[in-house]
Amino acid sequence: MSRTIRMFEIIQILRHATKSMTAEQIADILEVSKRTAYRDIATLKSMRVPIDGEAGIGYIMRPGFDLPPLHFTSTEIEAIIVGLSLLKRTGDLGLQHAAEQVVNKIHQVMPKDDSLDITASQLQVSSWKSAPESNKIISQLRRSIRETQCLNIDYENLNGIKSNRLIKPLGIIYYIEVVLLAAWCDLRQDFRHFRVDRISAAKLANQEFKDEAIALRQRWHEANPL
């Protein structure tokens, strides 16, 4: 996520907040460090964005920032509702929260006299499991994929054998029964799929694979068509 997009997201988060939010809460939503959140908020305030508050207390947005109105057809509204609702089947709390933010953003900027309701409940999607205990880890995995950063993970296979792996994370596959991380494993020198619920720890390694990412993903897709 670029800094410009990140600061836009901070504005939207604070516009929707019903009470002050700490930099740590904002950082968790954006999946960045608290230091990054502090820096972005300071930049926004220097640009005269009406943010009140300070470090250690919390921040809140004064009214005044609006986006152009959006117009959707009834079918587009239904597609948005169903598509975002399906995310709760992944068990990924980070994606579920992001989906709620999307709905809130669209609801805020739609014309007030629009007869279509983005929050309508006529279309619903059932959930299939509770969120996995590895929710913080899966957020870390998605971040490392976006930033093409290598990861050190502690993993336990189906036979109970534990190992530490240096991997290049390529993608996440959400099945009904399980969530898998697709990656290039340096130990095996091959593509491997790791069950997210069997990853006990994940830490960013001081190593990028940006130059390899496109080629690795292409090779993985060719070897593992979904």
The class (CATH top level) of 3-61 is mainly alpha
Q: What integer pLDDT is reported at residue 1 of this predicted model?
A: 67
Which of 134, 135, 204 has its CA nearest to residue 169?
204
Q: What integer pLDDT is reported at residue 131 of this predicted model?
A: 47
Q: What integer pLDDT is reported at residue 155 of this predicted model?
A: 96
Whole-prediction pTM: 0.60
Q: What integer pLDDT is reported at residue 208 of this predicted model?
A: 93
- Fold classification of 135-223 (topology level): SH3 type barrels. (2.30.30)
Output the tens digit of pLDDT for each of the chain's 226 residues: 678 888 888 988 888 888 899 999 999 988 888 899 999 999 998 888 889 888 888 999 887 665 555 667 677 777 888 888 888 777 788 888 888 888 877 777 666 655 556 665 566 666 665 445 556 788 889 889 988 999 999 999 989 999 999 999 999 988 877 889 999 999 999 999 999 999 999 999 989 999 999 999 999 999 887 6
Q: What integer pLDDT is reported at residue 98 of this predicted model?
A: 85
Please indicate whether the domains covering 3-61 and 135-223 agree at the CATH topology level: no
How far apart are alpha carbons 92 and 136 in whole angstroms? 9
The full set of domain ranges for the chain reads 3-61, 135-223
